[in-house]
Amino acid sequence: MAERDQMSATTESTSGNMIFEPILEEGVFRFDCSGDDRNMAFPSLSFPDSKVRDTPLMIHKEPHFIPTFEHLHGQQVVTMKLPIGTSFYGTGEVSGQLERTGKRIFTWNTDAWGYGPGTTSLYQSHPWVLAVLPNGEALGVLADTTRRCEIDLCEESKIKIVAPASYPIITFGPLPSPTAVLVSLSHAIGTVFMPPKWSLGYHQCRWSYESEERVLEIAETFRKKGIPCDVIWMDIDYMDGFRCFTFDKDRFSNPKALVNELHLNGFKAIWMLDPGIKHEEGYFVYDSGSKEDVWIQKVDGKPFVGDVWPGPCVFPDFTQQKTRSWWAKLVKDFISNGVDGIWNDMNEPAVFKSVTKTMPESNIHRGDAEFGGLQNHSHYHNVYGMLMARSTYEGMKLAAKEKRPFVLTRAGFIGSQRYAATWTGDNLSNWEHLHMSLSMVLQLGLSGQPLSGPDIGGFAGNATPTLFGRWMGMGAMFPFCRGHSEQSTSDHEPWSFGEECEEVCRLALLRRYRLIPHIYTLFYMAHTKGTPVATPTFFADPKDPSLRRSENSFLLGPLLVCASTVPVRGSELPHVLPKGIWLRFDFEDSHLDLPTLYLQGGFIIPVGPPFQHVGEANPTDDLSLILALDENGKAEGVIFEDDGDGYGFNRGEYLLTYYVAELHGSLITLKISKTEGSWSRPKRKLHVHLLLGGGAKLDAWGNDGEVIQLTLPSKLEVSNLISACEEQYKIRIENAKQIPELEEVSGQKGVELSKTPVELKSGDWLLKVVPLIGGRMISMTHLPTGTQWLHSRVEVDGYEEYSGVEYRSAGCTEEYTVVEHNLEPEGEDESLKLEGDIGGGLVLQRQISVPKNYPRLLHIDSGIIARNVGAGSGGFSRLVCLRAHPSFTLLHPTEVYVTFESIDGSKHEIWPDSGEQSFEGDLRPNGEWMLVDKCLKLGLVNRFKIDEVYKCLIHWGTGTVNLELWSEQRPVSKNHL
């Protein structure tokens, strides 16, 4: 508390002592106002060449892009004003909109199950902003700090970064394009690891496939149904009591035999490892770690113990070389069981039974000197997951030096792309999360992490057939492609939603496998040159402001993927094409639930056969080239080929082929312009598809390595080809079996019970209420700030009331029916009224409204109404108590508190470490209490009538706070938020 109260009111400007330095290359500058103590964020991790530190002094050539520094309240505040019309992107793994203006995020790795579009801290931290200037040039801004960092983009064209202590700012640019900035960034933080080719196939996962038999059944079904797949994943239930590096003796008794069987059918196996090691003597991992003294410590020097899946756990201190070596040796031995890849989860690190969802910031890491040495957890928290992924990656290399490791990590920091892929965490099975998944993958790519993807279909909740099919259609085009769902949900394999959805999934994945030669080439370029893989559509024309907020399409190199992320049918939805030539094509697989594909004029992309798994491919297979000429009649493209694994490409053992096509008169000539690598060209056929427009194409065959010529038809013939192709496309769309609409949709008056949230949007608030389960409000977003004060899963928490508590058990809820849904009544409040029959002739009624004349106020009226209370009903006692208990998600668990003044005049600040507290009599809040988030600098005021409330209770949960009001002998309780 004393530390919280030490808030200085002084402001110290230190811009006069700023150091300007160029690093690595022209256009990259370091701004530092911290003198000799630069608080570097691990130069050996974020900046592998360590050139940042040892460079000569130079003044920035562009004074307009120099940040200003000031120290305020013990924090360093950096601001940068950019030209009006600048668009912001990046900020790492974030939810919500693609264009980040108006958003504020905090870099603090957080276990953020079921996050929403307004959640400000997710699983990874990237203190990085990509600014696209009005003229199409771009600038990158990196805060070189590992501590909790606020990136405030709420004000137009202004970047504000706030973090404790002094930290350098590094700018990249301005450079001619966003791509140039990302290449420059990759030269500083390192490029993505070169993924094994099989990892670019489809991955199937679930929490959990419960036995070896079930895993083999899933694999067999993929092959039987002709749905491509390369990898089956094993979640935590394969372990013996959730102990890492062990196998359940009954359900996974012979992992080697299981993996051998999977390998025979073309599958790889990936297994999970968490950082929480069970605190149990006799468990070999715990015993060896204790002997090596590798655990994170408390202030008193004893190992920190926190609960995770196995129960009480200790945590490896990956900031020490000896710990990383110890872990790597465990991984090396683990690989001998047939492990092809490793999945690092829970490595924020997540800790159960903790309000902060992680370990105390006072814990001690005995880090290596180059990382900062002995520091508390607040210094190392954001890099813990990256250091674990690095240790896992190095352990896999020890086990098989000529195989490329594949590691997937949930937590990470800028630079972690050198060791691991990532996914977007525990998302939800709904349309909002489908839509967000596109922006999230793109933002990760714009922050230096190109190998990412969401849990296709959503992790939590049950997808509908249409949602799953649409998600697979788009997800099959993402850099990392994995389906995953949590326990207690329905099956989420591609065949689980009926024949129509199964066919959409099959078409989507066959399409992905045909494009793997192109995707693999993009990753080789990303690994060797630092170019991005998936980018927003505006990268095709950064000068065009109309493209900068496009969120239903993206680019894979020159390939434009246009997908629908809303419930209405997909391909018919309008999408914006960049200027220039964009020619539609498909593989005769068009479907309204699949994305529409366009190739940019001037480019050639390589395409392979539609295999069931990557291992089926051979160098002598026919190679297809799809080409689109630009306005000058030219096109060029490239394909990278090697063994698909190992490091032979570093020794020249590969073939990189550049193709060029050019139109002279009516004759198009395709040839090889240059090659790299020592591999000989395979003897294979080359199939050329020249796109003409409208989906029409001209085909030609030849031998790869020889000149191939095509004669362009006359304009009339081209027009006829296009007309015929468009007619065929229309027929294919009409004849395609549509996924049946099985959505549950809430209507207006008299809505039936439903799990589909009803929305109320008005003034400052956007609410989502689920009628079926207690009329629970599961989402409460403050629109002006984008803050989600409430975001809960459908099944638990949220804002609701209990009645008749004397008859009820914890977690039991009423069922409500929507009786009125007035979204825009003229001259009235916008409102939602729900009723639930609670027995005994009684009805529990709630009305949620936003007053027209006071949009900041959210008004909740709740009461018990006696509709038909007769003698002997016994129900009238239900009027005794009404309990309102909103459970608010804590976006920044260590930086929130509840404050109020009691009836007796005493003032209170209740922090998370105070546990549960109740207030009765004159200690009750005097009509209101406020939940304050210090990071957001916002408070949520909860008002109520004192004479209707006899007890107020504050309960701090794991990342939540429950503010309860108990009403006694009153039929109505009113709450104003």
Catalytic residue numbers, as ranges: 345, 348, 426
- Strand-pair partners of 600: 582
Q: How far is CA 731 from CA 583, 591, 726, 728, in A?
A: 20, 11, 9, 5
DSSP secondary-structure letter at 352?
B
Contact between 306 and 350 under an 8 Å Cβ cutoff? The reply is: no
Q: What are phi and psi of 667, to 5 degrees?
A: -105, 125
Q: How far apart are the first and last CA of the chain?
A: 27
Q: How far is CA 422 from CA 274, 741, 775, 817, in A?
A: 15, 32, 36, 41
Say how many C-beta atoms besides its own lie within 10 A of residue 224's C-beta: 9
The two beta strands, 928-933 and 896-901, are antiparallel
DSSP secondary-structure letter at 368?
-
Q: Exposed, middle or buried, 402 (CB in 10 Å: 0-12/13-18/19+)?
A: exposed
Q: Exposed, middle or buried, 116 (CB in 10 Å: 0-12/13-18/19+)?
A: buried
Tokens of 272: 């999970």
Give dist(CA 230, CA 199) in Å, integer. Answer: 7
Which residues lie closer than 8 Å to 2 by C-beta, 6 or more apart? Answer: none
- Strand-pair partners of 780: 767, 790
Contact between 561 and 107 under an 8 Å Cβ cutoff? The reply is: no
User: Between 321-335 and 284-292, two packed helices, what is the crossing angle to 10 degrees?
Assistant: 150
Say how many C-beta atoms besides its own lie within 10 A of residue 132's C-beta: 27
Tokens of 738: 């549509």
Stated as kind and residue range, the H or E segment containing 833 is strand 830-839
- Beta strand residue intervals within 144-287, DSSP E: 149-152, 158-164, 169-175, 202-204, 231-234, 268-273, 277-278
Give dist(CA 340, CA 405) in Å, integer. Answer: 8
Tokens of 561: 């993927």
The angle formed by the CA atoms of residues 67, 69 and 72, to the nearest 5 degrees, is: 145
Contact between 814 and 878 under an 8 Å Cβ cutoff? The reply is: no
Q: What are phi and psi of 357, to 5 degrees?
A: 65, 5
Give dist(CA 31, CA 760) in Å, integer. Answer: 46
Give dist(CA 220, CA 69) in Å, integer. Answer: 60
Say how many C-beta atoms besides its own lie within 10 A of residue 368's C-beta: 16
The angle formed by the CA atoms of residues 717, 721 and 726, to the nearest 5 degrees, is: 150
Place of tokens 């006692």: 877
Q: Which residues of 587-617 are buried (b: 16+ CB within 10 A; e: fewer)?
A: bebbbbbbbbbbbbbbbbbbbbebbbbbbeb
DSSP secondary-structure letter at 43?
I
Contact between 640 and 654 under an 8 Å Cβ cutoff? The reply is: yes
Stated as kind and residue range, the H or E segment containing 255 is helix 255-264
Give dist(CA 967, CA 861) in Å, integer. Answer: 13
* Listed residue (857, 856, 859) closest to 846, CA to CA: 859
Tokens of 32: 């530092």
Tokens of 486: 């949590």
Place of tokens 């629109």: 783
Place of tokens 């008056």: 749
Tokens of 74: 């013990």
